[in-house]
Amino acid sequence: MTGPAATTATAGRVVHVVGARPNFIKAAPVIDALAALEVPQWLVHTGQHYDPLLSDVFFRDLGLPAPDVSLGVGSGSHGHQTGALLAALEDEFVARPPAWVVVYGDVNSTLAAALVCAKLLIPVAHVEAGLRSFDVTMPEEVNRRLTDVVADLLFVTSPEGVDHLRAEGVDPARIEMVGNPMIDTLLRHLDRFDPGPVRERLGVPERYAVATLHRPANVDTPEAAGRLVAALRELAARLPVVLPLHPRGRGRLEAAGLREVAGIAVIEPLGYLEFLSLVRGAAVVVTDSGGIQEETTVLRIPCLTLRPNTERPVTITHGTNRLVEPEALGPMVDAALRGELAGPAEGPPLWDGHAGERIAAILAARLRG
């Protein structure tokens, strides 16, 4: 270890650390808003996700600037991947000390960057702080909690996040309720979400479901994958299903018979614009994703989340989301198709397309101060 970074930060620069699919979507509006304020910034891509369909396509679809630094860390077990991220990010920040670092969400790249900053005494802001599933078997819950402990600024997306942080004894001066940058991105590109062309390309009929699955608890054991394939069979018995499959789940779900289920089109992951176009035209979405619970809430598409808990309860109280056991999926799909899962008229507070601007204003003030 080289020791604390030099005190003169590289040109007062804000450095965004991104690594996985959802990070790119959350960072885009913050980068844009900081650019509008002419704040110098750099983008560091850790390489946690590297397949073009999990990475490059988001840079194209969202008009993100090319990364200034690509660390190429790649895949590995949690220990190996996090260790490689720590080493690579420390080298980067020692070589070019940032004025502030911004980390996003709850992936291994998020925690690693926050931890490196804590050790190098670099101020770090966490976008999407305070979410809690209270399920420590989820790797993301560990990442969220530890990131929030070390981050200097905690940008919160929904009110319960503030409650959780206060209950954990966090100094209120560190907490900023700013709204949801993932929803900024969605609202910004809303006019580009057209189900027609992607349906035509994929040969999808007018009435269909979209499904995504990638959580370790659902796809990392043969037993869990078997339950999920049985649930998907119930879904496909009711309407055609498009399943853009994350690489994590592929092997186990296929071994559990996914490809033999009639009525499911298993396809490669989709880019952002095609994916949300498909979601916008869907009768129902079945998922274990975090971000998709939020996006369906704003698009007002019924969302059935195949998990026992969610760190995003606001999508249930203020949206279209319901948690469902795999064995109960069929009847819940029926309820969704009968229109019984419509959310309340009012969406979550501050999911208004301006979270990135609020975050940028606060960061710019901290840089000046």
144 close to 311: Cβ distance less than 8 angstroms: yes
Given 45, 189, 214, 318, the catalytic residue: 214
Q: Which of 13, 21, 280, 354 binds ligand UD1 (CB under 6 A)?
A: 21
The span of 2-10, 56-64, 186-194, 243-251 binding ligand UD1 (CB under 6 A) equals 243-251
Residues whose CB falls within 8 Å of the CB of residue 14, separated by 6 or more in sequence, listed in order: 34, 39, 40, 41, 42, 98, 99, 100, 101, 102, 363, 367
Residue span 171-210 as binding mask against ligand UD1, x where in contact by CB under 6 A, dash where not: ----------------------------------------
Residue span 202-241 as binding mask against ligand UDP, x where in contact by CB under 6 A, dash where not: ----------x-x---------------------------
Least distance CB 196 / ligand UD1 (angstroms): 27
Give phi and psi for 8, each to the nearest 5: -80, 105
Q: Tell which positions 272-291 bind ligand UDP, by CB under 6 A.
A: 272, 275-276, 289-291
Distance CA 122, CA 293 (A): 33
The span of 85-93, 231-239, 245-253, 344-352 binding ligand UD1 (CB under 6 A) equals 245-253
Q: Which of 214, 233, 322, 358 binds ligand UD1 (CB under 6 A)?
A: 214
Report strand pairing: 41-45 vs 69-70.
parallel
Give phi and psi for 121, each to the nearest 5: 60, 40
Neighbouring CB atoms inside 10 A of 82's CB total 20
Binding footprint of ligand UD1, residue count (CB under 6 A): 19
Give the 3-state secondary structure percentages of the chain, helix then strand then coil, rounded to 5: 50, 15, 35
367 close to 37: Cβ distance less than 8 angstroms: no
Q: Which of 35, 51, 168, 342 binds ligand UD1 (CB under 6 A)?
A: 51
Q: Tell which positions 291-320 bind ligand UDP, by CB under 6 A.
A: 291-292, 295
364 interacts with ligand UD1 by CB under 6 A:
no
Least distance CB 292 / ligand UDP (angstroms): 5
Distance CA 269, CA 130 (A): 29
Max CA pair span of the chain: 62
DSSP 202-269: HT--SS-EEEE---HHHHSSHHHHHHHHHHHHHHHHHS-EEEE--HHHHHHHHHTTGGGSTTEEEEPP
Residue span 70-89 as binding mask against ligand UD1, x where in contact by CB under 6 A, dash where not: -----x-----x--------
Distance CA 89, CA 171 (A): 27
Among ligand UD1, ligand UDP, none, residue 12 binds (CB under 5-8 Å by kind) = none
Residue span 109-148 as binding mask against ligand UD1, x where in contact by CB under 6 A, dash where not: ------------------------------xx--------
> CA 199, 201, 205, 206 torsion: positive or negative?
positive
Q: Which of 13, 26, 49, 307 binds ligand UD1 (CB under 6 A)?
A: 49
Among ligand UD1, ligand UDP, none, residue 91 binds (CB under 5-8 Å by kind) = none
The C-alpha R_g of the chain, in whole angstroms, comes to 20
Retrieve residue 51's tokens.
């397949």
Q: Which of 41, 46, 108, 287 binds ligand UD1 (CB under 6 A)?
A: 108
318 catalytic? Reply is: no
Nearer Cβ to ligand UDP, position 282 or 367?
Answer: 282
109 close to 46: Cβ distance less than 8 angstroms: yes
38 close to 11: Cβ distance less than 8 angstroms: no
Contact footprint for ligand UDP (CB under 6 A): 21-22, 25, 212, 214, 244, 269-270, 272, 275-276, 289-292, 295
Catalytic residue annotation: 214
Contact footprint for ligand UD1 (CB under 6 A): 20-22, 48-51, 54, 75, 81, 106-108, 139-140, 214, 246-248
